[in-house]
Amino acid sequence: MLLVMLLVSIAVSLSFADPPSNFSGWELVFEDNFDGTSLDTSKWNPTYNWGSTHNHRAYCAPENVIVSDGTLKLKGEKKKHPGAEGKTAKFNNKEIPVDYTSGAIDTRGHFEVKYGYIEGRFKAPSQSGTWPAFWTLQDGWPPEIDILEIPASRKQHHYYLHYTDPSWYNSHGSAWDHEASFGGHKDDDVDRSADFHNYAVEWDESTLSFYFDDKKFASYNRPTEIKQLTAQYIIVNLAIGGWAGDDIDITESKPAYFEADWVRVWKAKPAKPDTVRIMSMNFGTCVVRTAADTLSLGDCDDDSAIAIITPLSSTTYRINFGDLSLDTPNESKDAGVTMGLYKWNGGGHQKVVMEKQAGYEGTVVRMKMQHSNMYLRATTDGERVVQSWADDWEWNQVWRLLPKETETEVSSYRSRLNDYGTSIRKVGNYLHVELSSFFDNGAVVRILDLQGREVLHRPVRHSAVLEVQQLPSGLYHVVASDGRRTDIRRFRK
């Protein structure tokens, strides 16, 4: 069996939670499909938990929260609610009137969540001057996660994390007058008021990823800011005026409706530690623990290659070799630092973000250190494991997680894998292959892409010139085998 085919045939059980297309690694912890004829007050408060007004011109009344025909409808009306007499609201530090009526709900006191996948299916009102939102909050502000806000164009929605500037937060804690944010707005040709659409955020200890119609369109690895978030409750509201402006297209005969089909929250299931060997896709050797408690590349069959991977969240892991954890010496954020091992202390310099690579059979990943956002790669001499920039040679940053049980199979094959002297030379769009004298009866030469897919197959007696013009740009394996011997070379198109 060829090495490349062997490597695509073996996998580990390590679970990568992958919302929204596959919830096998997730547990549903909150759901409301808005069935029935009234709001489920065991899950929701029928207005803002702090009162009926916020930073816009509407008084949010329980009677404007309607559940019918399988949806929640927050109704915005051009009328002043009796409860709004004498009240004003504040937006951008200015007093504004409370002369409309609308609806809001939140889960404070009923449901809160820290980390997970929070999603909802909504249809925005068409009228200008309305500001529908789906967001989360904790006691005190900031922080706040905005999953959906539409203050203006219905072909755009905003998404943000609002937080306290870290330079202030580290010394003083949360402060509204030191607020900062990251995020933005998604623009496309989809009218959010013409139909229902799915909006979601995936949240773990280091990353926020935003989804629209079940497709991730933005992701932020910002552990310093995200650590300000504690357990969050959920808010759905229809604001009028405020950020949406004062050109309000709501009349007495034309109210606005912000509709929700459902709201759900998923949490990643706790996963068991997995015993693996971490093999460089480039060198075919594995990460091993050295006598000096550093990491290098070595024999996959050696006990020093056995690693224990423990999930900390849906994307972040702890990697142990024996009793010590993978560690960035001195918490360095510099490229080229040789990775080491140290007792676990839970810092970001010991936490590894796993990025599963698409298009491969089995479990193939890139591994990124949480504190530095640098990827782990093998050095060009194949002897060390270092952290490196994202745009470094990616093939040296790709690793296959091998199950411990495959050691005999890998060893059996590797005993037949030697360098028999086959040479390749690329000239323009042609690849010149010269077999060594070991292949006295010729060999079958195959070209495979990085997924192990055969793109060329040619019997060769002594030498051959292979046209590779038709191949897409990328890295390829050239495998020559006569059934007894195998040579593997690489070239870049």
For the segment 400-426, the average pLDDT, to the nearest whole number, is 64
Range of the domain at 174: 26-268
Q: What is the per-residue pLDDT across 14-42, written as a single tens digit (0 to 9) for each?
A: 666 666 667 878 899 999 999 999 999 99
- Is residue 20 in some structural domain? no
Task: Give one DSSP letter per residue of 479-491, joined into a string.
Answer: EEE-SS-EEEEEE
**Residue 46 pLDDT exceeds 80:** yes
Q: Are residues 69 and 215 in the same domain?
A: yes
> Residue 4 — very low, low, confident or very high, per pLDDT cuts 50/70/90?
very low
> Residue 380 — very low, low, confident or very high, per pLDDT cuts 50/70/90?
confident
**Residue 421 pLDDT exceeds 90:** no
**By mean pLDDT, which of 218-232, 331-345, 359-373 is the weakest?**
359-373
- Residue ending a domain, choose from 242, 268, 294: 268
H/E stretch holding 116 reads strand 116-123
Distance between CA atoms of residues 323 and 310, nearest Å: 13
- For the chain, percent of residues with pLDDT exceeding 70: 91
DSSP bridge pairs for 260 = 72, 122
Q: What is the per-residue pLDDT across 436-485, written as a single tens digit (0 to 9) for each?
A: 888 989 999 989 876 567 789 999 999 999 999 989 888 788 888 887 77
Number of domains in the chain: 3
- Residue 420, pLDDT score: 79
CA nearest neighbour of 47 among 88, 94, 84: 84
Distance between CA atoms of residues 103 and 87, nearest Å: 17
- Is residue 13 in some structural domain? no
What residues have CB less than 8 Å from 345, skipping those under 6 apart? none
Highest-pLDDT range among 48-62, 259-273, 301-315? 48-62
Q: Are residues 103 and 245 in the same domain?
A: yes
Q: Are residues 276 and 243 in the same domain?
A: no
**By mean pLDDT, which of 2-6, 192-196, 380-384, 457-461 is the weakest?**
2-6
- Is residue 483 in some structural domain? yes
Q: Are residues 301 and 429 in the same domain?
A: no
Q: Are residues 248 and 145 in the same domain?
A: yes
Distance between CA atoms of residues 369 and 334, nearest Å: 11
Max alpha carbon distance in the chain (Å)? Answer: 98
Distance between CA atoms of residues 194 and 123, nearest Å: 7
Q: Are residues 353 and 258 in the same domain?
A: no
For the segment 91-110, the average pLDDT, to the nearest whole number, is 97
Q: Are residues 85 and 199 in the same domain?
A: yes
Q: Are residues 109 and 122 in the same domain?
A: yes
Q: Are residues 172 and 209 in the same domain?
A: yes
Residue type, 339: M
- Residue ending a domain, choose from 395, 412, 429: 412
Instruction: Confirm if 297 and 466 have CB atoms less than 8 A apart.
Output: no
Q: What is the mean pLDDT of the chain?
A: 89
